[in-house]
Structure 1
Amino acid sequence: MTADCLEKILMSHRIPSAVPAALREELSGHERIQSSRQHADATSDSFSSLVRTSGSVSLGHPATICPASFLPSEADALRLFDYYNNHLDYQYHLVVPARTKRDIHALYEAIAHGGSGDLNQIALLFSIIATALFYQLLSTESSDVAEICSRETVFLAGAALIQSNYVAYPTVEGLQAAMIIGHHLSRLTLNPSVSSLFSHGGLVSQAKSLGLHLLDCPQVVAARQEKGFDKSEIELKRRLWWDLASYDWLMGFLSGPQEWTYTIQPQHMNVRRPLNVEDDSIGDETELSLSAPTCMSYALHRLRLAEVCREIVDAGAPYHLQGQEIPYESILDLDRKLQQACTDIPTFFRFDQSSRRQFAKLYRERPEIAWQRALMQQGYHSRLCRLHRQYFIRGAKDPRYSYSHVVSLQSARKVLEIKRIMDEEEPLFTPNSSFFWAVMHHVFMAAVILLIDVCFNWDDILACKRKEEVLDACRLLSRAQQTSSVARECINAMMDILCRHWKQEKRPVSSREMQAQLPSSPDLGVSALHDQSTIPAANNVQDSKGFHFARPEQEHNFPIHDQSINLVNCELESAPLEDLWGQMLDESAHIALDTPEWMDLLTELTNATVPSESY
């Protein structure tokens, strides 16, 4: 600490010239944001101090700053906690509201009496503040302001954890703080001095240090009974452990370095599932049926989806590690498990008209259940698309795999329809569903599935209808871009990949080449392909709606117009999304990708943006 103070005294006047140029630019950017922020309406007066200090708090050393000195007033802290509890916690439910609110009161009371406060409770409060700040400011400010404020507040949470020696001596509150940041703010570029605290591997390690994976072993239960215990704390620990397990298994069925693997082994733990009870009923020993809606319903049914994803990883990993395709019989078996799990979800998580009418009052009284319903359905249908990805294109041409083609299209359409319901039907998402990267990621992937289908069926009798369907999905993405800077960043990142693949593979092809490059597997025969006699003989065929299609034999004569949009170098910020997708649809007959190349595209799109939410 002394050395740090001396360094500041001797070097403070030289810091502007000593820091790297990139950091100086970032600091000047922070100053511009602060200046513009002074002319904007403040979301809460207490947060203006955080904005004014943006860019300076995280320049300190996390072991020497005083996190408690940056706390907002108690009233503002409670307002932020209420926002988090009402609009964000429903996704994971990592806190027991009454317990956390009691700790907040105790923290401020201790500070008021001259104490320093419990560092782990301070970390938990800062994690809640950082998350609530991010989504509140996204609604009223630019993403830059939201990210800067949240990043600084996350640094304060990390500093509190470091000073409490959390890694060596973890606590439940510290684990809650790290999990909240890891789930909700993982997409932020966090300060490297604290970022490791919020990685999934670190979270699992700290949970094991707390013994959460042994929570219901006979010897642990006996010791607990002998010494006495807090039932709400034990139930909270179960919730935290199973949330980590769910996330771990869901991520195993997502492209990335963790694909086809997971960390938490079911054989290596003994933890009861959380009870399906409301928070204020913990300890009553009366568990409700899974068909009864509670604050834990979503977490428990999300766990069921995670378990099926774990089974998919177990079944697919041996083939993946040997560089082989998963046999189609295995895909169908896993599909049955996913479909059955989706069928088993309770009626209040369904979208059929009967269920929606039956639970309309519940959705008005508890909008979070309506929001959870949408996330649950999106989660299942996006996983079905992913499961059948390998055989999707083949199914368009070979009847043996037609089920995969049909299921993929049905699920993609469901994902898009659910997003429309999120945007248009009451109760509307607060914050907007476009603020969540996972939601937009699923929507974009669903739109790409429809686009791919058009490319491989450009001469289908329903081609015009399919193209209009793709453009409708594109308009959905465009509206999300206008609503949310998060959605705009996510879509632009994925569009960059899509444009690059499209430009690389867009080349004139003859009908003979197209037939040779149609997707196939070693056991696919020529009989599975469309007969050439089905191709119109005329140079241009006009359908009932006036759309013209070129004969494949004439494709090499179609030049790309000089005024067309450059799909690689296009300015994604300014080029209308509908124009880009419209050009792709117009050029769909020029694409000659085969199945492995489409698989590479879909994998790269999945890796483009790792969602902060596991759904």
Structure 2
Amino acid sequence: MQGPADVRGAQHVHGFYNPPPPQVKMKRNNRGDIISLAGRWTRPPLSCLACREKKRRCDRAQPCSNCLQRRIPCEYSGSSPEAAGTSDSLHGSTHNGPSESLEAHPTNQSELGLRCLPPLRQARELFNHFANTLQPTFGVLHIPTARNLMEKTYKCMLEGEEPHVADLMLMFAIFAGAALVWTPRVLEDLNTTKAGAKAAFMAYVRTALAILEHPDQLIQPSTTALVAIGTLGHLLMNTDGFPIKVHLLRHRCLLMSRDMQIHRLDTAQSREERRIKGCDMIDVEVQRRAWWNMVASDWLLSFSGGPQEGAYTFQPKHMNVNLPSNTDDEMITTSGVQQAYPLSVPTSMSAFIARVQGSELCREVIDALPSILLDSQYADYSVILELDAKYQTYMDNLPFFFKLDPASIEQSRQICKERPYIAWQRVSVHFSLHTRLCRLHRQYHLEGATNPKYAYSHKVCIQSAQKVLELRRSMDEISAEVELNPGRFWTVMHHVFFAALILAMDVSFNPQAPDAEARKAKVLAAYQTLEKSKQDSSNLMEGIQKNLQTLMSTLHKSRSQVPVRDPGAARGDAFTEPSQASYRPGELTTHDLAAQPSSTVAANSGFDLGTVNDIDQEGWEQLWSEFVAVAPELDVPQWSSLLEDVDFNPQLDVY
């Protein structure tokens, strides 16, 4: 492995970079994209000024290790004050990875971070992009404070001082977020490519994690460190679908927040201590945001499918933390909140608070439904109806700018013009709500197709699934205004897949329904939307493809082993009281398939998994035909098992 001292020119791969000097030779692939920058530097000299004067061996990093150790400015011929203390080492990091750099060149966390920071001009561009795009969906940072922290970090480098490692970690988390949600405008401003943005995202994330996990120095608890770790967790959750790294980051946030006593932030004793000793109220508000972001994520995950389904960590009686103020960042100063608004007034925190309230409903659902440790699969139907009523009440009580009816949308038109992110937040709030209404009613969805007792569940489940797909299309319409691409977020992809599966299942059970063709078209459109997302994130599509492979393998396996029965008769047997439904001897369940490798399942079923990886319009039509041919032969328990299996396979782990 080549170390910095061995490099005779600037080694680059795709990343955010400034235009190269004229002598730099750019290597390109067959499509003309830059794949590396092999610099042939003759002027200026490679060593920094200080090392040349003292005749020291310079490792040519910016700043070099000699200047870092002596805490003196590290300057190179031709470098501007803005670039001093920064480097193109991001590109070196993407070449080898921060973890490899750490092993090859033992260093402290500050030096590791300083080697990988982008130039200040790029840093400002990345920060602004994060503030305008991800912050409205995340809401934890106090943007003016974070911006000052960034400027202070770069000023420290210029003055030869060592910045705080937590500050560096937060900067890399912010830069990673900006790289994740790149836009053509950002690529043009930074003179890079889509591949460069993806490589930069990985480099920034790995650098932040390398700082966090440095073997010789622990990150001390602080509000900045807490926010940095939470931001990293948020990014990885939305890119990789809950890998183990996300859970470790969340657990670390929990331990750090408890160490800081944030769970008792607003007890009478804590408030009195702040009154007597004084405090920075910006810090207090950000701690509230960080805490409730953790809590909301925990409760939402408890009712989202996957391994976390049915359990949560944060107990309401174990915390005393007020909700963050409903106000804009500019209204919060070190002395306090200058103006807090009622929830009927839109602010940058409106969606954050709505998310917390929606997560509380998820916790109530988990508390009300039978324990996952019990054998009973069905809740009493009256409980389902009571929980549904709470969701309906919640939607009715949303502020007008978060409602979806035409009158409310018209009323909030000016607000959305002044605050474009409100339209995106409105869609996101309902996207989450309707996904969970689908989950709430799905146990009684198929029974409701023929049994009037459960007809309401059938109606709500279908309406909510259709609404999820409609909202996904709305995201595309709004995306240009807020510079966000929904196809890059794992949670969006997973919810769309689940909604499409609900509709497909319903059509397969009632192919003669008057609106069957319309629902079929919506399912095909949803699958095509997922397929198009491969262009933005192949990692996300890998998870969707695995779910689709599980689905088709299960259907084909069931078809080959279960004797063909009259679909109507089968459904007539199945649509009895849910508690009496049971598997018939010899029928295959997805749990039987779970123990087999997907390739073995595919081979046994005759289904070519490779066809899923590159499907065009004709391919989706054929896939649908296969689905419709097989699906009616499954009964209610088999469908329930199939949905459960898809739920428990939504994750990727690339770290």
User: TM-score per shorter chain, which class?
Assistant: 0.7 to 0.9
Task: Indicate the residue corresponding to 2:494 in structure 1.
Answer: 441
- Tell whether 2:601 aligns with 1:608: no
Shift in Å, 1:370: 1.1
Q: Residue type matched to 1:275 in 2? A: S
Q: Is the 8 A contact 2:325 2:340 kept in 1?
A: yes
Separation of aligned partners in 1, 2:550 and 2:263: 40
Q: 2:236 aligns with which of 181, 185, 210?
A: 185
Q: How does 1:131-210 map to 2 (within 5 A)?
A: 131-136=177-182, 146-162=197-213, 169-186=220-237, 195=245, 199-210=249-260
Q: Residue type matched to 2:614 in 1? A: S
Q: 2:267 aligns with which of 211, 217, 222?
A: 217
Separation of aligned partners in 2, 1:525 and 1:255: 22
Separation of aligned partners in 2, 1:254 and 1:109: 44
Q: Residue type matched to 1:588 in 2? A: V
Separation of aligned partners in 2, 1:147 and 1:599: 38
The alpha-carbon distance between structure 1 residues 483 and 516, as it changes in their structure 2 partners (threshold 3 A), is same
Task: Indicate the residue corresponding to 1:535 in structure 2.
Answer: none
Shift in Å, 1:457: 0.6
Task: Indicate the residue corresponding to 1:561 in structure 2.
Answer: none
Task: Indicate the residue corresponding to 1:303 in structure 2.
Answer: 356
Q: Is the 8 A contact 1:251 1:259 kept in 2?
A: yes
Q: 2:570 aligns with which of 516, 519, 523?
A: 516
The alpha-carbon distance between structure 1 residues 69 and 469, as it changes in their structure 2 partners (threshold 3 A), is closer
Separation of aligned partners in 1, 2:566 and 2:278: 78
Q: Is the 8 A contact 1:455 1:585 kept in 2?
A: no
- Tell whether 2:163 aligns with 1:117: yes
The alpha-carbon distance between structure 1 residues 519 and 466, as it changes in their structure 2 partners (threshold 3 A), is farther
- Structure 1 window deviating more from structure 2 (292-301 vs 593-602): it is 593-602
Which stretches in structure 1 are left out of the alignment for 5+ residues? 1-6, 14-27, 527-564
- Tell whether 2:113 aligns with 1:60: no
- Tell whether 2:626 aligns with 1:580: no
Task: Indicate the residue corresponding to 1:378 in structure 2.
Answer: 431
Q: Is the 8 A contact 2:88 2:116 kept in 1?
A: no
Q: 1:350 aligns with which of 403, 422, 439?
A: 403
Q: Is the 8 A contact 1:499 1:568 kept in 2?
A: no
Q: Is the 8 A contact 1:435 1:484 kept in 2?
A: yes
Separation of aligned partners in 1, 2:230 and 2:572: 46
The alpha-carbon distance between structure 1 residues 480 and 186, as it changes in their structure 2 partners (threshold 3 A), is closer
Q: Is the 8 A contact 2:13 2:91 kept in 1?
A: no
Q: Is the 8 A contact 1:509 1:590 kept in 2?
A: no
Task: Indicate the residue corresponding to 2:600 in structure 1.
Answer: none
Task: Indicate the residue corresponding to 2:365 in structure 1.
Answer: 312
Deviations 1:101-134 (A, max 9, x none): 1111111112211111111111110111122122
Q: Is the 8 A contact 2:552 2:627 kept in 1?
A: no
Task: Indicate the residue corresponding to 2:326 in structure 1.
Answer: 276
Shift in Å, 1:278: 0.9
- What SS does the aligned partner of 2:102 have? coil
Q: Residue type matched to 1:172 in 2? A: T
Q: 1:51 aligns with which of 86, 91, 103?
A: 91
The alpha-carbon distance between structure 1 residues 169 and 583, as it changes in their structure 2 partners (threshold 3 A), is closer
Shift in Å, 1:478: 4.2
Equivalent residue pairs, number:
548
Separation of aligned partners in 2, 1:149 and 1:310: 37
- Tell whether 2:290 aligns with 1:228: no
Separation of aligned partners in 2, 1:330 and 1:61: 55
Same amino acid, percent of matched pairs: 31
Separation of aligned partners in 1, 2:615 and 2:230: 38
Q: Is the 8 A contact 2:28 2:34 kept in 1?
A: no
Shift in Å, 1:454: 0.9
- Tell whether 2:338 aligns with 1:292: no
Shift in Å, 1:519: 6.5
- Tell whether 2:391 aligns with 1:338: yes
- Tell whether 2:312 aligns with 1:262: yes
Separation of aligned partners in 1, 2:356 and 2:339: 21
The alpha-carbon distance between structure 1 residues 252 and 35, as it changes in their structure 2 partners (threshold 3 A), is farther
Shift in Å, 1:518: 4.9
- Structure 1 window deviating more from structure 2 (322-331 vs 478-487): it is 478-487
Q: Is the 8 A contact 1:178 1:198 kept in 2?
A: no
Q: Is the 8 A contact 2:165 2:219 kept in 1?
A: no
Shift in Å, 1:262: 0.7
Shift in Å, 1:292: 0.6
Task: Indicate the residue corresponding to 1:4 in structure 2.
Answer: none
Deviations 1:21-43 (A, max 9, x none): xxxxxxx9999xx955895379x
Q: Is the 8 A contact 2:298 2:314 kept in 1?
A: yes
Shift in Å, 1:152: 2.5
Separation of aligned partners in 2, 1:59 and 1:271: 41
Which stretches in structure 2 are left out of the alignment for 5+ residues? 7-11, 16-25, 36-82, 581-604
Shift in Å, 1:607: 3.3
Task: Indicate the residue corresponding to 2:507 in structure 1.
Answer: 454
Separation of aligned partners in 1, 2:212 and 2:137: 24
Q: Residue type matched to 2:331 in 1? A: S
The alpha-carbon distance between structure 1 residues 36 and 346, as it changes in their structure 2 partners (threshold 3 A), is farther
Shift in Å, 1:595: 2.1
Separation of aligned partners in 1, 2:304 and 2:87: 36
Shift in Å, 1:577: 5.5
Task: Indicate the residue corresponding to 1:405 in structure 2.
Answer: 458
Q: How does 1:522-601 map to 2 (within 5 A)?
A: 523=577, 567-576=607-616, 579-585=619-625, 588-591=628-631, 592-601=633-642
Q: Is the 8 A contact 1:394 1:519 kept in 2?
A: no
The alpha-carbon distance between structure 1 residues 275 and 223, as it changes in their structure 2 partners (threshold 3 A), is same
- What SS does the aligned partner of 2:371 have? helix
The alpha-carbon distance between structure 1 residues 399 and 36, as it changes in their structure 2 partners (threshold 3 A), is farther
Shift in Å, 1:522: 5.9
The alpha-carbon distance between structure 1 residues 327 and 181, as it changes in their structure 2 partners (threshold 3 A), is same
The alpha-carbon distance between structure 1 residues 461 and 372, as it changes in their structure 2 partners (threshold 3 A), is closer
- Structure 1 window deviating more from structure 2 (307-316 vs 436-445): it is 436-445
Separation of aligned partners in 2, 1:304 and 1:368: 19
Task: Indicate the residue corresponding to 2:442 in structure 1.
Answer: 389
Separation of aligned partners in 1, 2:280 and 2:573: 60
The alpha-carbon distance between structure 1 residues 292 and 461, as it changes in their structure 2 partners (threshold 3 A), is closer
Task: Indicate the residue corresponding to 1:40 in structure 2.
Answer: 33
The alpha-carbon distance between structure 1 residues 376 and 524, as it changes in their structure 2 partners (threshold 3 A), is closer
Shift in Å, 1:92: 1.5
Shift in Å, 1:573: 2.8
Separation of aligned partners in 2, 1:195 and 1:412: 31
Q: Residue type matched to 2:261 in 1? A: G
The alpha-carbon distance between structure 1 residues 425 and 251, as it changes in their structure 2 partners (threshold 3 A), is closer
Q: Is the 8 A contact 1:363 1:427 kept in 2?
A: no
The alpha-carbon distance between structure 1 residues 605 and 41, as it changes in their structure 2 partners (threshold 3 A), is same
Superposition TM-score, scaled by structure 2 size: 0.75
Q: Is the 8 A contact 1:248 1:264 kept in 2?
A: yes
The alpha-carbon distance between structure 1 residues 350 and 483, as it changes in their structure 2 partners (threshold 3 A), is farther
Separation of aligned partners in 2, 1:567 and 1:145: 37
Task: Indicate the residue corresponding to 2:134 in structure 1.
Answer: 88
Deviations 1:265-294 (A, max 9, x none): 100011111111111112245321101100
Shift in Å, 1:443: 1.4
